[in-house]
Structures are given as structure tokens and as C-alpha cells.
Structure 1
Amino acid sequence: MKSNLITKWPEKVTNRAMLRAVGYKTNDFYKNQIGVASTWSNLTPCNNHINILAKAVEYSINNNNCKSTIFNTITVSDGISNGNIGMKYSLISREIISNSIETVCNAQSFDGLICIGGCDKNIPGCILGICKLNIPSIFLYSGTILPGKNRTDIVSVFESLGKFFSKKINKNELEIVEKESIIGSGSCGGLYTANSMAIVAEILGISIPNSSLKNAQSINKILDCLNIGKLINNLLIEKIKPSDIINKNSILESLKIISLLGGSTNCILHLLSIINILKIDIDLKKISEVTNNLPTISDLKPSGKFFISDLINAGGIQKFLKFLIEINIIKGNNITVTGKTLKDNLKNIKINYFNKILKDLNFPLKKTNQIKILFGNISINGSIAKISGKEGEIFIGKALVFNSEEEAIYFIYNNNIIKKSIIVIRYEGPKGGPGMREMLTPTSALIGKGIKNDVALITDGRFSGGSHGFVVGHICPEAYEKGNISIINNNDLIIIDTKNNFINLFLNKKNILNRKKNLIIINNLSIGILNLYRKFSLKSSKGASFDYE
């Protein structure tokens, strides 16, 4: 056992004495040591119940011939940090989470690991930590929140602010939305980033079957915790590691699923980061080959009508997965944390997934995919669009340029925007921000003002899973690295074509080069870990994680 480095008698008697002080008994030193990485905090409803789940996981592990030790890592609330400088720290928190898990587990010489996450960056942060450690591990999702009053949620609040500034609702109505939209514990309730990444984790095989779609405040989520001890013990016996589970095939299949469902664009960013850590041969061009021709079959928020809790009540996702295996869209042949393949895990599930939320593939909600990988002279290394289709598939308009999110938000709230404008928000990339902020506040403001079908928005930043409209993010190269987004001027003509998957500025190469000669790069204030991230972050097309090489 790896943990002999801290438990072996008599050489490690000092280590054992320290462990006795935190509750270890003599027989505990001869068991596999399992770290339980908890992202609990009272910062956000996504995570404020995880301490309860961690204690249930601890109980399960200790009753399955192993010894558990709970430790905490950080979380950053995307919902609270959105629209301000705090969002610069959101994506960085993914790196801090993965590095802190790696640090503690190696320092404590754990034999195995359970990670429990809720908010958006918890899930990829935990999975990245799991990948770097490569010891038997399981990720456990903390579950989704239930809708608020009148079927509202966090995105309802963001969009209500746009309505307030455009005088569609008054102060009292806005306050009611604030008070009644977010009630209880759990991650934001649509197919936003947390729920999208939870589904990804299940398809990757690193989480318990059918655990991605559970209400946070439910007995079923506690049952997941109580079943986990047996699973981690089996992984240790069978010597199954994350590198046996997460591979090229499981990643490509997770991309197919999240594309069919119309999930968060952040999933691609996070999967690119996992791909980079595991040195798997997949890039944006390969992702576009796999996903661009798939239909959209789910009517889930943000662009649809339904919450994840509605999908849970309609039977969840397992029948849908089995159907996809039956029609050969995915194979399901990759090993999972059960020691069985995804296909074997679904053996006893009956096919009959069709419901008002997940449509028949022959009669999809949209014949093309919501998530599109676009290339062109604005994004030579690629960009990621999220287009529901309700806004059309081709957008030609004149640029309205802002050099920060704050500039754009102020303008949107206080001005009328001309139809067919393409809002350009730049210097928000991994290095330029630094931090690659989400643009949920400006996209929600456009929706709240009722003009989302009249304008488009492009950025070298990224989007929340709750963003929708005609939006293109992750533009690479970013403005800070002299990407062509940096030389766009007001009233320049831009075309976004999601049928043919390109985004271009109507400017020839000679004029682009001439503009770059006089380009002055904006250098946003960068301190502490933001400065570290600016120096060592990879491009968004590589996942925007730290470059560890």
C-alpha cells in the first residue's frame, strides 16, 4: 500500500502518533487510506450541504475495510462573482482545486480518493486532480437545486436585472425575484455548467452510474454516498485507476452526449484541460468532426423550458444512454468505477426514454447542434459558439467594441443597441483578463432587454452554462496575444456562420497586418495568483489550464 509511507510499524511511529490524535485506532493503520476531498463551504447553495455528504461517504468507506480522512479544498461561486472582478478568479479556482487535491493526497500518501463537488469549477477541478494523481478514485456530484417559486432560478434573476434597467419590471418585482428564485441547496438547476459536467463525469466513467441526475436534497443522493465505500474498495482490489477509465473514447463519447443535450460550452474547455493533462490526441478540429453534425434533442434550460429536476422526474438519463448505445451513436465499452463498462451498467435498463424533455432523434428539437466549433480569421485557433437556433444560423452585423466586460455591461444597461450589432468584448481571455471571465451578465442583460434575437456577442472570454443567444466565446488567439479580435474597430462588418462553421472579419490580410502595426495591447491590472495565471496559462483552445511542462 502506498500509505505504508505514513503507517508502517515501527518506522512510521511518529506519523502514527499524529494520526491517533485525529481518531485513528490501531487496526486503521493496516487498511487502505482513502482521502475524501470535500468542496464544502457556506459561500454558495451549490456546496453548503456537501459536509453532510462527506460524512456519509466517510461512514461508507469506514464500513468497507478502508479508512477515510476528510479534507477540504476551496470553491468560488460563479453566480456571486459574475459581472465583477471576482469572476477573474473563477477559472483559476479550477487549477487551485486540482492542485490542492494533488498536494494533500501526495503529502498524506492516500491509496484512494473520493472527490465531492458541486459548483461549476469543482467538478473539473476534482477530475483534473484525480487524473494527475492516478490512484483509484471516484467523483461524486452533490446534486442539482430545485426550481424557485414560479419556476425561477439564478438565470431568472440575471435576466430580471435587464428587464429592470429597460423598465419592464419595477423595483418591487425585482426584489421578489431576488427573494424567491434560489431556495435550498444544490447546483444551478438548468443544463448549465455544473449539471453538464456532472453528466460528462458519468459518461467518462469516473462517477457512480445514475448519480449525475439527482436532486441535492434527496435520499437518493445520500444513497450514492452510502454505496461509495464498496466501490472504492473494489477499485483498490482490482487496481483500476483513472487512466484505465478516462481515455480518448470515453472523452469523445462524453462530447457527443453533451452536444446532443445542448450542454455548456465550458464542458469543452474543461475536457480540453483533461485532454492536455492526460496527453490524449484530441483538439478542437477533432471535436468539431465528432459534434458539429449532431442534432439537439433536449428542451432543457437555458434555452429550453425544463429544469434538470424535471428530467429526473421523467426518468433521468440512463434510458437515453442505453438507446444511444443501441443505435450505435456511442459504444459504451469503456470501463467505469463499477469495474464494468458503461454498457454493462445499463444492462437492466429498459429503453423508452422519449418524453417531452428529450426528443426522438428522428424528430429533434433542432436538426443541428447548439454547440459549434468555429474557425476563421477572427479565431484562427478556434472558438466555441452556443446557438439555440431560435436566433437563426447566420448573423452578419457591425461591430460594437468593448475592451472589458464592465464597459459592455454599462453600455447595454444604459443605451439602446442598434439591431444587427455584434458586440465584441475582448481582453477577457486567459492572459488578457487575466482569468477568462464568463459573460453571463451581459448576455442576460440582452435577454432581459428583449433584444437577444437582434444582436450577437463575441468574446475571447467564455460563457456561463446559463448564457444563451447568438454568442461566440473562447476566441483564440485572444486579444492580449494579438489575435485578430484585437484589431476589430467599431462598425467593422463581421459574419458568424454556424451552418458552415466560420467567423470572419470583412478585412483582407493586408489591412489586418497594417492595423497590427499600430496595435497597442491593453494590459489589465494583474496581481498575485492572477499574475501567475497570466504567465503560465495555456490558450483556451488547449483548455486554459496551467502549463505544467
Structure 2
Amino acid sequence: MKLRSQKILSRPEWSINRAYYKSMGYTDSDLEKPIIGIANAFSTTVPGHYNLNQVCQAVKDGIREAGGTPVEFGVIGACDGIAEGHEGMRYILPTRDIIAHSIELMVQAQQYDAIVLLGSCDKIVPGMLMAAARLDLPSILVNGGPMLGGPVLHGRKADTTSIIEGVGRLNKGEITDRELEQMEDSCAPGCGSCSFLGTANTMCCLAEALGMSLPGSAMIPAVYTARMSVAQASGRAILDLVEKNITARRIINQKSIENAVRLVSAIGGSTNAALHVPAIAYEAKVDFNIDIFDDFSRGTPLVAKMNPAASANVIDFHEAGGVPAVMSELTHILNTDAMTVTGKTLAENLKGHSSPDNEVIKTSAEPFSASGGLAVLRGSLAPDSAVTKPAAIDPKMLSFTGPARVYDSEEQANQAIMDGQVQKGDVLVIRYEGPKGGPGMPEMFKAMKLLYGMGMAKDVALVTDGRFSGTNNGCFVGHISPEAQEGGPIALVRDGDQIEIDVDAKKLELKVSPEELDKRRLTWKAPEPRVREGYLYLYSKLAESSDKGAIIKNRAD
């Protein structure tokens, strides 16, 4: 093995570096082995990361057992759930790029030979995958696993989103304050990523489909002993990747990215994947655009359903066979020769995998539906694209037309819903919430949950240049590009304008004449930026549009 770490650890020139390591207890024997960086996003603020120190110890054990030397460093990670519905959500998506940048900086500064990425949640996992693709070193991702579900409420096991739905029911007088408090105490019974198929679990499943996590590992619950076993196995696997010189871009490439899109589509994953896949592809130097996402999604059967599209949660999905069972149903449309972190191809990994039931995971011959869980729409309201999730939309709302009720911020819209200003049949428009306008492209999570809790989720559509949580259901369309802050058509919508949503026809139309829109454009002026300092200010100046993954470009091409 040619170890780049040895270039800065050989005697006598680099004896000073050896001295730095020895001051922390490393030995001569340690410094002769591959130096494996461990990017650990542990914290006591993110439930999905609360157990990562235990996971990290298991990874270290595997690394040492296989003949490597683990070196751990910290990575930031914010909790989407805690940030939902207030100013903090504007900071969430921008953390993704900070995570990628910080890992790159640390790994390159210290010249590690390989990297193990420890993260479980929404922006942390894609940020880590972006870093792996950018660095192109041997890399593997290990997540902390999902939390268990709570007691059964309204036909499904409770989870953290049950609370905001409960707030809507409390507002209608359907439950008491005490009942809401009991829900608060029981809906999240332990640590882990949230037990529904939100962005966190979608991205962990996507990482496995990419070939960047060990087969079957994505949805092992946080409290299962198998979570520590697979962490230790991942520690051993990274040394095998170093020995074989299997770097990240041998795994993250055109073939595996197509496989990942197929998987997300087949399980009805979060719409946020449509932001993160282009960003990961950019770092891997793979040509990718949002239309590819749509083509693959529409050509992939929906073979798995779970909350928010069904009552099953991700623990049920894991017990039904998880990612390998789904991918084994898709082999006829997958690139099965794609390389994975096992050092084997996808086809080799999938041998013998199938689902033991036909409830959570169905066959490709008899799927839940013939097309996948995500769709890209275009039209006069979204010339560059918009994203929706048919798997989470009631069939009667796949085609919806109604008058616009327009709000220039998430906060205004949430208050309007609570005040009863939004009526059945309306198309709720929330704008100036894109990457630049938000800034930070916050999720319209709370608005959708309030509509659900108030019994209007099947009667009101929501369109926005912001984005959505993977837990949302109802008729929603996000990621509208161009965004309002850049003068996109969504900035010109007025109360009462008719908006047509037709998911099957891939249409999102503002039923206003081009002449009238031209008149409105003459008087439109971009609002003053919400933020004038700090990282959000920088992000608002540098971020690309949502159809390009809201990335910050970091190379000259």
C-alpha cells in the first residue's frame, strides 16, 4: 500500500509530526499503519447522533483489528427537527456545505489515508458524501440508526411529527393540553434518527444504495446490538478499501448515482434527495440534472411504502428486508456491476436478499404503483423545475386547481393558517424562501403539519420556492425555480390567481396571461435581503438555484 500519511510521518524530516502524535499516546507501531480519519458528528443536541460516540468506538475497534490507526475529529451537525418552524431552519441547508468543506479541510490538512464518516441526519449525511466524493479517498459512511416508534396513535406508531399534528388538533379542540403532553413524553422513546422516512433515513438508505455503506446497514435501529456490529465491520472494511485502493469516486459515479435515484424513487423518499443528489454528483464530477431524476423516478416502480405515505415506519422497513430487499426487486433496471464498499459489485451483495413479507415491501411485478415516489414539474410558474412527491399525495389531489393565497414568508403563512385565513380549495403560495431569498431554503414543514392537523391536508395545496420535510404529506410542490428573490414567476403571483397542479402531466401553471405577467414584472422589485451579515449572507450570495442542488461551486469548470 502507498500511504500518503507516510509522506508526513517519515524520519528524520517529519519527526516533529511523530512527536505531536506521540504526545497523545500514539506509538511508533501506530504511526507505521494506515492513518484512518473518523469524522464524527456526535452531539447531545441531535437525537440521531446521540449514540455516535459508541458507534465510533466500535469503528475504532474494527480499524485496529484490521491493522489501521484511527484518528477522530468532530463535525458539526444541526437537528432539523429542533430547527423547524423558526429562524433556525434558515441555517440548516447551509450546514451541508460547511460540513463538506470542513471535512475536506481537516482530511487534507492532516493527510489521512482514508476516512470513515459518522452521521445519521438530514444535511449531515449528504454533506459527508459530498466530502467523500470531493476528496476521492477510500471512504465509508456509518450511521447511528433510527429510533424506535412510540405508542400507536391514529393507526400508526407515534413519532416526533405526531406532536405538531397534535398542535393542530389541540387548536381544533380535539385533544387536551394533557394529552399533548403525554404525546410529547412518549413519541420519541429513545435516540436515533426519526422513525419515519424523512430526509435523514432517506439519505442513509441512499448512501447504502450508492454503495457507500455496508449492505443492510442503513436502517438497523440505534438501540440494536447489530448497529455496533456493523460499525465494527465498517472499521475493518475501510482497511480493505485502502489495501485495494478503492477510492470514493470508484463507488460514487454515474452508475451508482442512477442506482441511488432508483432506490429513493422505489421507497418514496424525501423530496430533499432532489437537492442532495445533484450536489453529490457535482462533487463526484458526474453530469447530472433534475430531469434525469424525474426520468428515473417515473420509470421506477414504488415497491416500498412507509410513514408519511403509510402506517409502517422505518423499523418495519428494516425488518421487511430494507434496502437490499428493495434493490433485489429492481435488478432489471439497476447498474448491478457498480462497485461498493465491500469491494464487491452490487450484484454480488444482493445475492440471497428478498423481502419476507408482501406488506411494507412488494414485488416489482405487483408494486404499490408503477412509477416512483418523486416527480419534477415544469410550467409557467416553474420554468426551471419544481419537485413534488406523488407517493405522499392523495390520488384525488394529483390534479388540483385553485385560487392563490400568497404569503411572502413561512411565518406569515403559518399564522394565516392558525388564524383561519386559508380556506379549503386554496393554493397556498409561500415565496421568498429559496436558497437566496430565505436565505437557506427553509422547510415548509410546519405549514403542512398545521394543515394536516386542522383537517385541510386533502383540500389545500401548497407551492413554494422553499422545500419540504420528508415527513410531509398532502398536495405540495417545492423547489420552484427560479425562486422569487431572483425574479422567478412565483414573485409575480397575486391573491386570487388560478394555479394548476397536474402531477401526472408534469405541469405547474400560473393561469395568468404572458402579457399580464410582463406588466407585473415591470413593477416588481426584489425585497431587501433578510440577512446582511454572517454565514447566511455569504450563502445567499454564493448558492446556486435549487434545481442545481443549491450548491456552492468550488471549482473553476
Residue equivalent to 1:242:
248
**3-state SS of 2:142 partner:** strand
Please show how residues 218-367 of structure 1 align to structure 2 within 5 Å.
Answer: 218-325=224-331, 328-347=332-351, 349-367=352-370
Counterpart of 1:384 in structure 2: which amino acid? V
**3-state SS of 1:452 partner:** coil
Given that 1:391 and 1:453 are in contact with CA atoms closer than 8 Å, whether structure 2 keeps it comes out as: no
Counterpart of 1:453 in structure 2: which amino acid? K
Residues 367/167 of structure 1: CA separation in 2 closer, same or farther (3 Å cut): farther
CA deviation profile, 1:39-97 (whole Å, cap 9, x unmatched) = 00000211111011111111211221111101110011100000000001100111111
Please show how residues 140-159 of structure 1 align to structure 2 within 5 Å.
Answer: 140-150=142-152, 151-159=157-165
TM-score by length of 1: 0.97
Residue equivalent to 2:136:
134
Given that 2:161 and 2:471 are in contact with CA atoms closer than 8 Å, whether structure 1 keeps it comes out as: yes
CA shift for structure 1 position 329: 2.1
Residue equivalent to 1:108:
110
Report which stretch shifted further, 268-277 or 72-81: 268-277
CA distance in 1, matches of 2:53, 2:75: 12
Residues 540/196 of structure 1: CA separation in 2 closer, same or farther (3 Å cut): same
Counterpart of 1:322 in structure 2: which amino acid? S
Residue equivalent to 1:439:
444
Of 369, 372, 376, the residue aligned with 1:369 is: 372
Counterpart of 1:342 in structure 2: which amino acid? L
CA distance in 1, matches of 2:299, 2:41: 37
CA distance in 1, matches of 2:291, 2:305: 27
Given that 1:188 and 1:194 are in contact with CA atoms closer than 8 Å, whether structure 2 keeps it comes out as: yes
CA distance in 2, matches of 1:333, 1:298: 23
CA shift for structure 1 position 116: 0.6
Residue equivalent to 2:470:
465
Counterpart of 2:553 in structure 1: which amino acid? D
CA shift for structure 1 position 120: 0.8
TM-score by length of 2: 0.96
CA shift for structure 1 position 354: 4.2
Of 415, 418, 421, the residue aligned with 1:413 is: 418
Given that 1:496 and 1:502 are in contact with CA atoms closer than 8 Å, whether structure 2 keeps it comes out as: yes
CA shift for structure 1 position 391: 4.6
Counterpart of 2:438 in structure 1: which amino acid? G
Of 40, 57, 66, the residue aligned with 2:68 is: 66
CA distance in 2, matches of 1:331, 1:403: 44
**3-state SS of 1:381 partner:** strand
Given that 1:383 and 1:474 are in contact with CA atoms closer than 8 Å, whether structure 2 keeps it comes out as: yes
CA shift for structure 1 position 132: 1.1
CA shift for structure 1 position 272: 0.8
CA deviation profile, 1:486-536 (whole Å, cap 9, x unmatched) = 000001000000011010101122211111110021234212000010111
Residue equivalent to 1:41:
43
After superposition, the CA RMSD in angstroms is 1.3
CA distance in 2, matches of 1:229, 1:260: 30
CA deviation profile, 1:260-317 (whole Å, cap 9, x unmatched) = 1111011121001111222312211122122124332323001211011112223333
CA distance in 1, matches of 2:353, 2:262: 21
Match status 1:187 vs 2:193: yes
Residue equivalent to 1:493:
498
Residue equivalent to 1:160:
166
Given that 2:320 and 2:361 are in contact with CA atoms closer than 8 Å, whether structure 1 keeps it comes out as: no
Percent identity of equivalent pairs: 34
Counterpart of 2:373 in structure 1: which amino acid? Q
CA deviation profile, 1:327-386 (whole Å, cap 9, x unmatched) = x12132100011110111122x14455421112334332344331100111111111012
Given that 2:294 and 2:374 are in contact with CA atoms closer than 8 Å, whether structure 1 keeps it comes out as: no
**Please, which runs of 5 or more residues in structure 1 have no aligned partner?**
none
**3-state SS of 1:317 partner:** helix
**3-state SS of 2:58 partner:** helix
Counterpart of 2:384 in structure 1: which amino acid? N
Given that 2:100 and 2:127 are in contact with CA atoms closer than 8 Å, whether structure 1 keeps it comes out as: yes
CA distance in 1, matches of 2:372, 2:342: 31
Residues 350/57 of structure 1: CA separation in 2 closer, same or farther (3 Å cut): closer
Of 381, 386, 411, the residue aligned with 1:383 is: 386
Of 169, 179, 192, the residue aligned with 1:173 is: 179
Residues 403/188 of structure 1: CA separation in 2 closer, same or farther (3 Å cut): same
**Please, which runs of 5 or more residues in structure 2 have no aligned partner?**
none
Counterpart of 2:142 in structure 1: which amino acid? L
Given that 1:147 and 1:189 are in contact with CA atoms closer than 8 Å, whether structure 2 keeps it comes out as: yes
CA distance in 1, matches of 2:412, 2:424: 19
Match status 1:506 vs 2:517: no
Given that 1:298 and 1:304 are in contact with CA atoms closer than 8 Å, whether structure 2 keeps it comes out as: no
**3-state SS of 2:4 partner:** coil
Q: How many residue pairs end up in the alignment?
A: 546
